[in-house]
Amino acid sequence: MTAHTAQTAGAERAESARSTPTREPVGDIGDLPWIEDAGKIAPPDARELSRLFFDRLQVLEEGTPAHQYARSTLIEMNLSLVRFAAGRFRNRGGGDMEDIVQVGTIGLIKAIDRFDLSREVEFTSFAVPYITGEIKRFFRDTSWAVHVPRRLQELRVDIARSKESLATQLDRDPTVPELAEQLGLSEGEVTEGIVAANGYTAGSLDMPADPADAGRRNAPGRTFADVLGGPDPAMETVENLHALAPLLGDLDDRERRIIDMRFGQEMTQSQIGTELGISQMHVSRLISRILRKLRSGMLVEE
């Protein structure tokens, strides 16, 4: 089939799609052809029809049935572009194919809303970068095992490229100062990026803690879960002391002295009474009152 014959056949198919509606459209769609199932139109016909729909879309008032019909039909007719772009990420991992197609469709919609026929650029050439960019953004935002700032996500890519380039030149792995010089960053920023890169993937807690056991079946060695530390019981005491310190500062001199003698010097109530010249019963009431005040303050702090 010659190029002229193919072009003529494509034009005839597109004209047939324009002039042969299969059912009555809902709402006023103006002079646009009614297409029953835009998703079943072959790509060559979709390209031909897309020019017509883009031409009309530019003059239609937004929000009208005709505008909505033209826009939704353009989306359905060009979903093959999304499937084509999504196929390149099939083996990328980190996302279901259906999710990738949905994300790519967002890029297609953005391309349709921003396309202008006056640029004399094929819509396919204009749309694919939008679709691909949206899919790449999806992987960048969802494939990290630990969430890190986008700045560090992008820095990880730059460090990986520079590391590969310098390793080729130096015939060894580059150092942090060499990477910093290559990227025009400080050593601290490069170190931060390297540390953040560890959050891209996460290992299982059931992995052997000793790398030497990783390649052996039925290895009796301990896993990472076995060597995880537990909560330190002394931490609660430290937290309580930090909360108690400002409350002790709010006591008057006499109250602080009583607390120090009772709990710091571990004096008995009788000894405290003798020291202060008061009865043991009075000391007991004072200590109870001070402790209630401190306990109340601790509850407020929590």
**Average pLDDT, integer, range 62-76:** 87
Which residue pairs from 289-293 have beta carbons closer than 8 angstroms and sit at least 24 positions apart in sequence?
Answer: 290/251, 290/255, 290/258, 290/259, 293/247, 293/251
- Residue 106 — pLDDT band, cuts 50, 70, 90? very high
Domain with CATH 1.10.1740.10 in the chain: 3-142
Share of the chain above pLDDT 70, in %: 75
Interval 157-209: pLDDT, tens: 888 888 888 888 888 988 999 999 988 989 888 888 888 777 666 566 666 76
Domain with CATH 1.10.10.10 in the chain: 150-227, 234-301
Query: Do residues 128 and 81 touch, judged by C-beta distance below 8 A?
Result: yes
How far is Cα of residue 208 from the mean position of the Cα atoms in its chain? 29
Q: Which of 6-15, 57-66, 274-283 comes out lowest in average pLDDT?
A: 6-15
**Average pLDDT, integer, range 208-212:** 62
Domain 234-301 is found in CATH 1.10.10.10: yes
Q: Which of 50-54, 55-59, 137-141 comes out lowest in average pLDDT?
A: 137-141
CATH number of 150-227: 1.10.10.10
Domain 3-142 is found in CATH 3.30.70.980: no
Please indicate whether residue 198 or residue 57 has the higher confidence score (pLDDT). Answer: 57
3-state secondary structure of 273: helix
Query: Do residues 111 and 130 touch, judged by C-beta distance below 8 A?
Result: yes
Q: Cα(95)–Cα(89) distance, rounded to whole angstroms? A: 9
Q: Whole-number mean pLDDT of the chain?
A: 78
